[in-house]
Structure 1
C-alpha cells in the first residue's frame, strides 16, 4: 500500500482534532510551569520556593491511579470520553482564573493549593484526551497525529508564556489570569463538537478489569525485561530538557529581560520554530520510522539545552534570547513529538486511558521531583553550570534507545512499522 503524501495525511478531520487536543492539554501545564513561576518571581518569591512548586505536578505522576475509574465509568451525558473532557475543562477554566484573586506574597500556600487543583484537573483531562486521540487515530497516522498534537501543545504555551507577560505590563494580574483562563473555552468547544467514538465495547466491565488488565496486557505483549527497559526509557528520555525548562521564565527575569521582552521574543521565535517543527516533524514521521525520529530529534533536543547555557554567559541580549528560545521550541518540540508517538505505539487501544496515563506519568516524574531541586541547584552553582548538568542528564535517555528503539532496524515508514 502506498504511503499518503504529506498534504493528504495532514488535511483531514482527525488532524484538526489533534490540534484542539494539543492546545487544550498544553495550556494548563504551561500556566503552571511558565506563567505561575514568572508571576511569583516578579512578585519577589525566592527561586528555592519557586523550584519547590514543581511538586504540585504530583497529579501528573500518579494519574494512572484514577485513570481506571475514567476508563470504567462515565457521566450521564455526552459519553465515556466527552463527558470527562467537558467536566475537567470547565473545572480548569474556573480554577485557573482563581489565581488572579490570590496574593502570592501574603498567601503563598493558597497559591500552592490552587496550583495543585489545576494540576489534578489538568492530569485528569490528559487521561481522557490521550485515550480519545489513541482511539481516534488509525495506526498509520500515529506519528503525524501525535506530532501535530505536540506542536499545538507547544503553541498553547504562547498564551501563558508570551501574551500573559505582555499583558501584565499593562493590566492587573487578576485580569491576566481571567483572560488566560478563557482560552480553556477552546477545549470546551472541542468536547461539545466532536463525536463520541463507537468503541463502547472496549470499556472494562468491572473496575478490577480496568485496573489489572492494562498492566497485564503490557507485560504480556513486551515481556518483563523489555517492559522494564521501556519504562526506564520513558523516565530518562525527557529528564534533561525537563529540568532545563523548569525555571525558564525566572531565568529570563534574572538576566534582566522585561516581561514584555520575554513575551514578544517568545511569540516571534516560537512561532517560527513551531512552523519549521511541524513541517520537519511531519515529514520525518511519514518518511522515517518512529525509532529514527527519536534518535534525530533527541540529539537536537540535547543541543537546544546548551543554548540556555550560552545565553547565561551572554546575558541580556534579545537576539540571543530569540535564538535560544527558538531552538528550544524546535528541539524540545520535535523530541516530544517523537516521544509521544512512541508512547502511543506502545499502548493497546483497548486500554488506552490507563496505559497512556501510566507511560506519561513516568515522563512526569523528573518534571515533578527532580525539578523541585532546580532552584536550590541554581542558587548553589549558577545558571551556566546548571544547564551543563541538564545536558549531561539528557544522555542516559539517548543511550536507552539502543535497547528500546535501535537505529539499525529495517528501513520502513511509520505506516509499515506500526501496522
Structure 2
C-alpha cells in the first residue's frame, strides 16, 4: 500500500496558513481539484437529475429506478482498467498515456450527455436515452480509472493526502453543479412536474455538456504527464489489439445473453419475483461473459501469459496476501454501503412523491446535503485517526442504516424543517461511512497493482447496491415507502457483524493494530 501517513510535506516551521497554501495552492493540487469536478458532474446526470427528468416526462417509477443500472460501468470498471493502464492510444497518445485516455473519456462523456439531451423520453425514445446513459456511465467510469492512476503517479506519497482532499472537494462541487444546478436550470427553463417541458431539460443537459469543458481544459493545459511511472510491458501492438478484441467480444456475449434471457424469461409484477428473475438474467449473462473471455484465451486469440498478466495477476495477488480471509474481505466490500446506496437511489423521487418541489429538493439535497456529506467525511477521518479504521467503519455502518428510519417519519410528516433535518443527518452519516471506507480500501491495496486493485474494490463496493437499487421503485410499488426504508435498515444490520468479524480476524496496518 502506498504510504499516506505523512499529511504534509511542508516544513515544521511554517504557519498554518503557509502549510495550507503549500499543500493546496500548487499545480498538482489544483489539477486534482479540477479533475475531481470533472468526475463529479456525470454521476448525478445518470442518477438523481435523470430520475426527476424521467418522472416529469411521465415515466413510471419502476422504469426510472432501473435507469440506475446505466451506472453499472462504475461497478465493472475493474474489467477494462488493465486495458486503460496498458493500452497506448493512436494519435492522442502524443499527449502522453494518462492525458490521452483522459481526453478520450471526457470526449465520450460529452457525447453521451449530448445524446441524452437530444432525446425526449416522453416521445417513447427510452432505448436511445438508455444508450446515452450507458455510454455516460462507461466513459465516466473510465475517466475515474485514469484520474485515480494519475493521482498516484503524479506526486510522492507525502502529497497524496492533499491531492485526495482536493479531488474530493472538486468532486462534491461537481455533484452540486450537476445535481442542484441541473434542477435549478430545469426550473428556470420552464419544466415542472405539472407542466413538463422537454426543451427545458434539453437546454439543461446541453449546459452540463459545456460544463465538462472544465475537464477537457484541465487535461490539455494544466496536467503534466507523469514521468517514468508507467510500467513497460512486453506486449506488441497485436497483443493490445487482441486484448481489446477479447474484452469487446465478452461484452457482446453479455449483452446478447441478457437480451435473449429477457425475451425467454416471463415478466412479473411481483417485486420479489421480478428481482429474482433479474438476478438470474444478470448472473447468467455475467457467467457467459467470463466464459466467452476464457474460451477466447484458450483458443489462442490472445496469449495466455498476456491475459494472465493483464487480468489475473492483480487479483491473485490479493488472494495470496489475505488467503482464506480474502472472501470475507470481499463480502464486506460488496455489502458495506448497501443500506445507504439503495435508499439513496430513490430518495429524490421519494421527496417529489411526498410533495416537495424541485427547488426545495435542490436546496436541501444537492446543496445542504452535499455540504453535510463533506463535513461527515472530515468527521470520519478524525474518528478514524482517534479510534482506528475498523472502529470508525462500525460507527459508519451503524449510522448509515439507522438514519434511513428517519425517512419513515418524514413520509408521515412531510415538512421542510424535518426534510432538512433528515437530509443533513443522513448525508453526514453517508459522508462519514464513505471516508472511512476509502481508508479501508486503501489499506487493502497493493502498491504493485494500485490502479487495478482499487478499481476492483471500488467496483465491488457499488455492484450489489446498484443492482438491488434498480428494483427500489418496484419494491415501493409493491409495498410502500415506510416498508422500503425499513427494509434498507434491516439489510444494513448484517454489515455490522461483518465489520466486527473482519476487525477480529484481519488487523490492518492502517488501523494501528
TM-score, normalised to structure 1's length? 0.88
Tell me the CA shift for residue 108 of structure 1: 1.3
Instruction: Assess, with a 3 A threshold, how the Cα gap between structure 1 residues 79 and 289 changes in structure 2: closer, same or farther.
Output: farther
SS in 1 for 2:105: helix
Match of 1:174 among 199, 202, 216: 202
- Matches of 1:18 and 1:277 in 2, distance apart? 21
Tell me the CA shift for residue 276 of structure 1: 2.6
- Matches of 1:61 and 1:3 in 2, distance apart? 30
SS in 1 for 2:121: coil
CA contact (8 A) 1:237 1:396 kept: no
CA-to-partner distance for each residue in 1:12-42, whole Å, 9 max, x for gaps?
Answer: 3455454334332232111111111110011
Structure 1 equivalent of residue 150 of structure 2: 132
- Matches of 1:384 and 1:199 in 2, distance apart? 55
Instruction: Assess, with a 3 A threshold, how the Cα gap between structure 1 residues 402 and 391 changes in structure 2: closer, same or farther.
Output: same
1:197 aligns with 2:226: yes
Tell me the CA shift for residue 195 of structure 1: 2.2
Structure 1 equivalent of residue 52 of structure 2: 38
CA-to-partner distance for each residue in 1:146-192, whole Å, 9 max, x for gaps?
Answer: 56644543442222321111221121111111112222223223323
Q: For residues 1-400 of structure 1, what are the structure 2 equivalents within 5 Å? A: 4=7, 8=19, 11-12=23-24, 13=26, 15-75=29-89, 76-106=93-123, 107-136=125-154, 146=164, 149-150=167-168, 152-171=170-189, 172-192=200-220, 193-206=222-235, 207-208=306-307, 209-223=309-323, 225-270=324-369, 272-274=371-373, 276-315=375-414, 317-400=415-498
- Matches of 1:126 and 1:102 in 2, distance apart? 26
CA-to-partner distance for each residue in 1:247-279, whole Å, 9 max, x for gaps?
Answer: 122111101111122122234422541453354
Instruction: Assess, with a 3 A threshold, how the Cα gap between structure 1 residues 191 and 299 changes in structure 2: closer, same or farther.
Output: farther
TM-score, normalised to structure 2's length? 0.73
Tell me the CA shift for residue 70 of structure 1: 0.8
CA contact (8 A) 2:333 2:461 kept: yes
Structure 1 equivalent of residue 196 of structure 2: none
Tell me the CA shift for residue 377 of structure 1: 0.3
CA contact (8 A) 2:340 2:404 kept: yes
Tell me which of the two structures has the higher relative contact order, counting C-alpha pairs closer than 8 angstroms and 6 or more residues apart.
1
The number of residues matched between the two structures is 413
Shifted more, 189-198 versus 161-170: the winner is: 189-198
Task: Structure 1: give runs of 5+ residues left out of the alignment.
Answer: none
SS in 2 for 1:157: helix
- Matches of 2:496 and 2:33 in 1, distance apart? 28
Tell me the CA shift for residue 245 of structure 1: 0.7
Instruction: Assess, with a 3 A threshold, how the Cα gap between structure 1 residues 320 and 144 changes in structure 2: closer, same or farther.
Output: farther
- Matches of 1:148 and 1:241 in 2, distance apart? 24
Instruction: Assess, with a 3 A threshold, how the Cα gap between structure 1 residues 4 and 300 changes in structure 2: closer, same or farther.
Output: same
- Look at both structures and tell me which one has the larger radius of gyration over its CA atoms: 2
